[in-house]
Amino acid sequence: MKTLLHLVMLAVLFATSVHASDDKPTIRVVADEWPPFSGVDLPNNGLSIHVISAVFERAGYAVESDVLPWARIMDGARRSEFDVVGSLFYDPSLTEFLDYGDPFYTTNVQLVQRVGGDHVFTSVSELQPYSIAVGDGFLYEDEFDRADYLNKVTVTTTLQALRMVAFERADLTLDSVDVVNYATDTLDPDLSGRLEFVPGVLTSQDIHMAMRTDFPNLEQTLDDFNATLREMRSDGSLAEILAQHVKP
């Protein structure tokens, strides 16, 4: 009788566990067009969405994803239309309505010049004499982003900024080395012979996802994400995903 009761209890616990997994909500993940981290024409919508989806799915969640304009993402996240925003550097201003998960990739941010240029990055203040093409609303590095004394020429995309430098309409631009490499290798290979990185790294930035603060069971969901991400980093499956999107 005791053995039968024990088996019944185990069956109940198992059924409860399965039911709890089934009750996990579907997570809507969005990111803006920023290859190789996210993009509509990229495999699995890019590195960021691929990693985020794989982590949540391994943790037992269903995932839907999309690549949308940044303004649309911010509006939807504030209105709780979207659950997770990917392809993010850390931005304190977003923590008003988003909670960040642990980072899953780190990228260097460097300046770009025309081939043969003599620039060397030493400090933000020493960039003052030069015109610098920057993305509208892009974040690069705190001191640089706040430096309103610099001659910043606003553009829409990284590719546009690179072309401005290549064709002498700006002296410099900057972005993640992975974004620049993707643009010059894939989007416009003619640029690869015209542009080069300026010696010196402006900063290293972690790539994150962040979840809306009013998501049901937010703390547990973030814990699930972070714990599963650690597992995937440990067993090599994270590295396998990253290798599909960026140069080693």
Residues 10 and 72 in one domain: yes
Dist. CA 126–CA 30, nearest whole Å: 37
CATH of the domain at 42: 3.40.190.10
What's the pLDDT score for residue 54?
98
The CA-based angle 116-177-38, given to 5 degrees, is 140
What's the pLDDT score for residue 175?
97
The mean pLDDT values, 10 residues at a time, for the chain of 248 residues are: 39 37 85 96 97 98 96 95 97 96 98 96 96 93 96 95 98 97 96 96 97 96 98 98 91
pTM summary value = 0.86
What's the pLDDT score for residue 2?
36
Residues 156 and 64 in one domain: no
Structural domain includes residue 176: yes
| CA-closest candidate to residue 172, choices 217, 137, 247, 121 | 121
Containing structural domain, residue 77: 2-105+206-243
Q: Last residue of a domain, which of 189, 204, 219? A: 204
What's the pLDDT score for residue 148?
96
| Interhelix angle 218-235/47-58, nearest 10 degrees | 110
Output the CA–CA distances (angstroms, integers) from residue 51 to 114, 117, 118, 177, in the order listed. 34, 37, 38, 19
Residues 98 and 11 in one domain: yes
Structural domains in the chain (count): 2
Residues 101 and 14 in one domain: yes
Backbone torsion region of residue 91, taken as left when φ is above 0, otherwise alpha when ψ lies between -120 and 50, otherwise beta = beta
Residues 16 and 78 in one domain: yes
Beta strands in the chain (DSSP E): 27-31, 63-67, 84-88, 98-100, 105-114, 131-135, 151-155, 172-176, 195-197, 203-212
